[in-house]
Structure 1
Amino acid sequence: MKLIIDTDPGIDDAMAISYAAAASEIDLLGLTTVFGNTHVHQSSRNARYLLHRLAVEAPVAEGAPFALGRTDHAPSERVHGPEGFGDLTDIPEVGTNHSLDAAAFLVEMAKAHRGELVVCAVGPLTNIAAAMRLDPEFSRNIKRLVIMGGAVFCPGNITEHAEANIYHDAAAADEVFSSPPDTVLVGLDVTLKTLYETADFEALARRSADIGGFLRDISRFYLNFYKEIGGLEGCGLHDSTAVIACTHDGMFDMVETGVKVTTIGSEIGATRPDPSRPPIRVCRDVDGAGVVQLFTERVASLP
């Protein structure tokens, strides 16, 4: 399966990209970056560093620095640390970004791999909305869009109503859902059922000293946040679950419904079923233990 991950690395993004690198059924064609967990230039640097560390030769195309109509962004330092990788702050610049920006890169790759390309968006949907604006054929050219975002049947995580990726650019998300390609939404409804605990990270590091050890080390900051805020002894495999949904949709229970995003007011970022919208597949349940096991087995195969 030909895959591009639209990402804002980010600790859980690093886990998802590592999984994609380890999965033999995934041909990772590139990463596009967006603001979110970090500023976009940090996202791009982190993405290039990750690919180098994973020994994956793939381009990184930098995308939107801000939400649609905005000129500022406050990263999630409390969740992911000042540079996106927890307590790791000395992250080297490796290589350079692709000459095309993220939206143009997505459009060109969709044309080049018409009917084959899956795009997995694990950050705000600004780049996806921009690609759809840039080329009206983009939605038809890609095989599928898989989104980590939303909380359709459960409470949010950044507010009572909203999940963080959708909240950070509610207008872009609503634009995507108003005329979506073939889309699977992997939200908090399922990702919070894939808890990855400290013991899981330690076991992973024993089996994969380099990559597993790296993920264990950067996750400590992330795990502390989950414990302080939610009293949880682990973190949801949010972005990794979305990547797994790209190839293992049989692990998920899905319902077809249109989705409307609240774009103003106190419930901004809320994702609500809307039968007047074109239907997408919304993940409602998951084999959480199976996702955790699959993630561990694949990433443990890395050095």
Structure 2
Amino acid sequence: MKIIIDTDPGVDDAMAIFYAHAAPDIELVGLTTVFGNVWVEQATRNANYLMEFLGADCPVAQGASEPYEITGFKPSAHVHGPEGFGDHVEIETARAPIVESAAEFLVRMARENPGEIVVCAVSPLTNIADAIRLDSDFAANVGRIVIMGGAVDVPGNIRDCAEANIFHDPHAAAEVFASGAKITLVGLDVTMQTLCLREDFTALAEAAPKAGGFLLKISEFYHNFYETVAGKTGCAMHDATAVIAATHMELFTTESSGLTVDLSDTALGKTTRAPSNPPVEICLDIDADAVKARFFDVVARLG
């Protein structure tokens, strides 16, 4: 499966990218970057750093630096650290982004590979909305958009009613949900069931000293946030869960329904069912043990 990950790396983004690189059933054909966990320039640097770290020949296209209508955006440094990778702050790479913008790259890849490209959007949806605005055929050309975002039947994580990726650009998300593209939503309804313990990362580091050791190092900051702020015993495997959903939907229970995004001040970013909108496959339950086992088994192959 040809996959582009739209990303704002990000600890759990790094996990998703490592998995996609290692998975035998995925051909990672590009990364597009956007603001979110970090500023977009940091996201682009981090994405290129990961590609260099993995020895991957994969283009990185830089995208949107701010949401459509929301002002005052600030990165999630308290969750992912000041540079996106926890306490790992020395992030240097000789790689550079390609000339095309994220939206241009997405449009071209979908046009050249009609029905074949799966976009895993694990960040605010501004780049995806930009691609839809740039090319009216994008929604039809792209094979599927798997979105890590939203909270349909569970509380949010940035507000009681809203999940962070949707909240950071709710107007873009509303456009994407209304586009008619084939969409799968992998939100907090399922990702909060994939809590990973410190022991999981320690075991991964023993099995794969380079890749696992890096994830163990950067996950420490992430774990501390979940334990001290979110009150959880482990850190959620948000973004990697979305990538796994792209190829292993048998591990998820879904419901087909239209979705809308609340744009009011009081419930900004809330994702709710809207039968009048085009149907979206909403993940509502998950075989969490199988998803976690698949992640750690696949990434362990990286060594």
Does residue 180 of structure 2 align to residue 174 of structure 1? Answer: no
- Displacement after TM superposition at 1:72 (Å): 4.8
1:240-259 pair list within 5 angstroms: 240-259=240-259
Output the CA distance in 2 between the equivalents of 1:75 and 1:170: 16
Other-structure match for 1:36:
36
Counterpart in the other structure of 1:27: 27
- Report the alpha carbon displacement of residue 95 of structure 1 after superposing the two structures with TM: 1.1
Deviation at 1:229, TM superposition (A): 1.5
Contact 2:189 2:283 in 1 (8 A): yes
* Contact map agreement 1:45 1:94 (CA 8 A) in 2: no
Match of 1:199 in 2: 199
Residues 166-203 of structure 1: CA distance to partner in whole angstroms, max 9, x if unpaired? 00000000111112311000000000111111000000
Report the aligned-residue RMSD: 0.8
| TM-score, L = length of structure 1 | 0.99
SS in 2 for 1:258: strand
* 1:71 Cα deviation from its structure 2 partner: 5.9
Indicate conservation of the 8 Å contact 1:66/1:72, yes or no: no
Q: What whole-Å deviation, never above 9, does each CA across 1:53-83 have from its counterpart, x for those lacking one?
A: 1111010000000001356531000000000
The amino acid across from 2:117 in the alignment is L
Q: Are the structure 2 counterparts of residues 72 and 63 from structure 1 closer, same or farther at C-alpha, using a change threshold of 3 Å?
A: farther
Report the alpha carbon displacement of residue 266 of structure 1 after superposing the two structures with TM.
1.5
Q: What letter corresponds to residue 120 of structure 2 in structure 1?
A: C
Segments of 5+ residues of structure 1 without an aligned counterpart are none
* Residue identity (%): 53
- Cα pair 1:198 1:233 within 8 Å, conserved: no
Secondary structure of the residue aligned to 1:5 is: strand
Q: Deviations over 1:249-294 (max 9, x none)?
A: 0000000000110112121000001111111100000000001100
1:190-229 to structure 2, matched below 5 A, reads: 190-229=190-229
Tell me how far 1:94 sits from its aligned partner: 2.6
Other structure's SS at 2:89 match: coil
Distance 1:288 1:104 in 2: 35
Instruction: Tell me what 2:158 maps to.
Output: 158
CA 64–72 in structure 1, closer or farther in 2 if over 3 Å, else same: farther
Give runs of ≥4 in structure 1 deviating > 6 Å: none
Unaligned stretches of 5+ in structure 2? none
- The SS at the match of 1:221 is helix
- How far apart are residue 237 of structure 1 and its match? 0.7
- Which secondary structure does the structure 2 equivalent of 1:120 belong to? strand
Matches within 5 A, 1:23-102: 23-70=23-70, 72-102=72-102
**Within 1, Cα distance between the matches of 2:230 and 2:4?**
32
Cα deviation 1:81-133 (Å, max 9, x = unaligned): 00000001110033111100000000001011111110000000000000000
Paired residue type of 1:104: E
Corresponding residue for 2:125? 125
Using the TM superposition, give the Cα deviation of residue 297 of structure 1 relative to its aligned residue in structure 2, in angstroms: 0.2
Greater Cα shift, 70-79 or 110-119: 70-79
Counterparts of 1:76 and 1:230 in 2: how far apart (Å)? 14
Which residue in the other structure is 1:276 paired with?
Answer: 276
Partner of 1:288: 288
- TM-score w.r.t. the length of structure 2 is 0.99
2:129 maps to a residue whose letter is A
May I ask how many residue pairs the two structures share in their alignment? 303
- Residues in 1 aligned to 2:119 and 2:233: alpha-carbon distance in whole angstroms: 31
Compared CA separation, residues 30 and 145, structure 1 to 2 (3 A): same
Distance 1:123 1:143 in 2: 19
Counterpart-to-counterpart distance in 2, 1:244 and 1:83: 26
Query: How far did 1:9 drift?
Result: 0.1
- Partner of 2:260, secondary structure, is strand
In the other structure, the counterpart of 1:116 is: 116
